[in-house]
Chains A and B, each alone.
Chain A
Amino acid sequence: MIEINNVSKWYGKFQVLTDCTTNVAKGDVVVVCGPSGSGKSTLIKTVNALEPIQQGDIVVDGIKVNDPKTNLPKLRSRVGMVFQHFELFPHLSITENLALAQRKVLGRPRDEAEATGLKLLERVGLKAHAHKFPGQLSGGQQQRVAIARALAMNPIAMLFDEPTSALDPEMISEVLDIMVQLAHEGMTMMVVTHEMGFARKVANRVIFMDEGHIVEDAGKEEFFSTERCARAQQFLSKILQH
């Protein structure tokens, strides 16, 4: 579904990604972890071309992302993305947030878009908040709306860029619960997160990045049970300490 082949990326002279290769098969959940600045957020943003790459290839559902001829808006509309800071549109109500791209990108009529949005809101347990504005919701609620907003486009895969890092501890589980549910339903997911509990529960593979390199790329059982490289060990022991 998502193939990342020998991808390298530079910001000016600074190399943020070095020869990254991995893939996400249909229905797989791949968790990407690593210390801050390791390039994991950048890597996930290259998948829908929010960040351009200078070398290598990325293919999503058979379409080459880094081909200048690719219709990026169309491709992006098929890949859902959830951001660290939710990025709901604060000037639009929750209903309008859910309907905007359905109407403007997919061309669905307003009532159909709003009905679809409402159904997904119900699914994330926020139907009662449809008329509110993002600023009136808690962080966890906003992130659940953001997930519903992405799902409203009927995506073939979902990208999560540190979806719980900006949340209060109490709100993390309400977001993770929805993600676990999605995973169980067979959604193809690429998730940048430090939530190792989530990785243990639903991941098929775990990728560990450091300084722009993919250092480890292993099945979940293997990743958590056997000896990892020194850098990954050190990282894991730090985040699993408490």
Chain B
Amino acid sequence: MLADFDFDVIRRSLGYLFLDGMAFTLTLTVLASVMGILLGTLLAIGRLAGPKFIAVPITAYVNLIRSLPLVLVIFWFYFLVPYIGQWMTGASRPVQVGAFASTLLTFTLFEAAYFSEIMRAGIQSIPRGQVSAGYAMGLTYPQVMRYVVLPQAFRNMLPLLLTQTIVLFQDTSLVYVLSITDFMGAASKVAQRDGRLVEMYIFAAVVYFLVSFALSRLVKRLQARIAIPR
């Protein structure tokens, strides 16, 4: 039975799978998680410390995003963003933003909702006394946040942030619905072109597993290195 399989198809398409596919997947993962964490942190601060007219819309946004399936949001942004671009620039036709820009925006905005919940928990985990101590020595609110609260919140939440990033890495495979050549898209295209579905999907699974597993080991080591000494 094994003779029916042709695993050489993997070797023949390695360049396409990794240089095109995986490069896209990793770039998207890294950029979207960095921007998502930054935006998520701002959302968390706005929600915790902002006035009502800022906190309420943020809460609504986070709840909305978290109740929608990612694949729907991907579609939605891909077809809607050109119209928003048209409306904002006053152009005569929808503005084509390109698949990469569109997916990056989608993942950043989507993941920011999840990251903001993680950062919110992290900020709230810092004892009030720490904030008081910062104020008592004359620091302003932004300074207390920047030098006292966020560095500790970030360290405390690092395992969760990176776990979410690993989930993000896997979720980027959903962009194949837009016929984008990410790793999953590349594997899928080769699979269908050569009629090697089993081989390619097994290989894709192995690669996703290896990368995710390696990342989670890395998280453990990183965590030990930046932990607050006790």
| Residue positions of A touching B, CB distance < 8 A | 45, 48, 50, 72-81, 83, 85, 87-91, 100-101, 104-105, 132-133, 135-136, 149-150, 153
User: Is the pair A101, B139 in contact by a Cβ cutoff of 8 Å?
Assistant: yes
Bound complex: CA A101 to CA B148 (Å): 11
Contacts of B201 in A (CB 8 A): none
Bound complex: CA A45 to CA B151 (Å): 26
User: Contact mask B103-138 → A, CB, 8 Å, 1/0?
Assistant: 000000000000000000000000101101101111
Contacts of B212 in A (CB 8 A): none
Interface residue SS majority, chain B: helix
Contacts of A79 in B (CB 8 A): 136
Interface size class of B (residues with CB under 8 A): 20 to 34
User: Is the pair B136, A91 in contact by a Cβ cutoff of 8 Å?
Assistant: no
Residue in contact with A76 in the complex, picked from B129, B130, B137, B151, CB distance below 8 Å: B137
Bound complex: CA A79 to CA B155 (Å): 31
Interchain residue pairs A-B with the least CB separation, the first 3: A77-B138, A87-B133, A135-B230
User: Is the pair B228, A90 in contact by a Cβ cutoff of 8 Å?
Assistant: yes
Bound complex: CA A79 to CA B136 (Å): 8
User: Is the pair B230, A87 in contact by a Cβ cutoff of 8 Å?
Assistant: no
User: Is the pair B147, A104 in contact by a Cβ cutoff of 8 Å?
Assistant: yes
Contacts of A87 in B (CB 8 A): 127, 129-130, 132-133
Contacts of A90 in B (CB 8 A): 152, 228, 230
User: Is the pair A81, B152 in contact by a Cβ cutoff of 8 Å?
Assistant: no
Bound complex: CA A76 to CA B136 (Å): 5
How many A-B residue pairs have C-beta atoms within 8 angstroms? Tell me: 75
Residue in contact with A149 in the complex, picked from B130, B137, B152, B228, CB distance below 8 Å: B137
Q: A73-B140, A89-B148, A100-B147 are in contact. Are A136 and B135 (CB under 8 A)?
A: no
| Residue positions of B touching A, CB distance < 8 A | 127, 129-130, 132-133, 135-140, 143, 147-148, 151-152, 155, 228-230
Bound complex: CA A41 to CA B145 (Å): 24
User: B151, B152, B229 — which one has the most chain A CB atoms within 10 A of its CB?
Assistant: B229
User: How close is B150's CB to chain A, nearest CB, in angstroms?
Assistant: 10
The 17 sampled A-B contact pairs (Cβ below 8 Å) are A48-B136, A50-B135, A75-B138, A83-B132, A85-B129, A87-B127, A89-B130, A89-B152, A91-B155, A91-B228, A100-B139, A101-B138, A104-B139, A105-B139, A105-B143, A133-B230, A150-B137
User: How close is B133's CB to chain A, nearest CB, in angstroms?
Assistant: 4
Contacts of B137 in A (CB 8 A): 76-77, 80-81, 100-101, 105, 149-150, 153
Contacts of A83 in B (CB 8 A): 129, 132-133, 136
Q: A101-B139, A104-B139, A104-B147 are in contact. Are A50 and B229 (CB under 8 A)?
A: no
User: Is the pair B136, A50 in contact by a Cβ cutoff of 8 Å?
Assistant: yes
User: Is the pair A104, B229 in contact by a Cβ cutoff of 8 Å?
Assistant: no
User: How close is B101's CB to chain A, nearest CB, in angstroms?
Assistant: 36
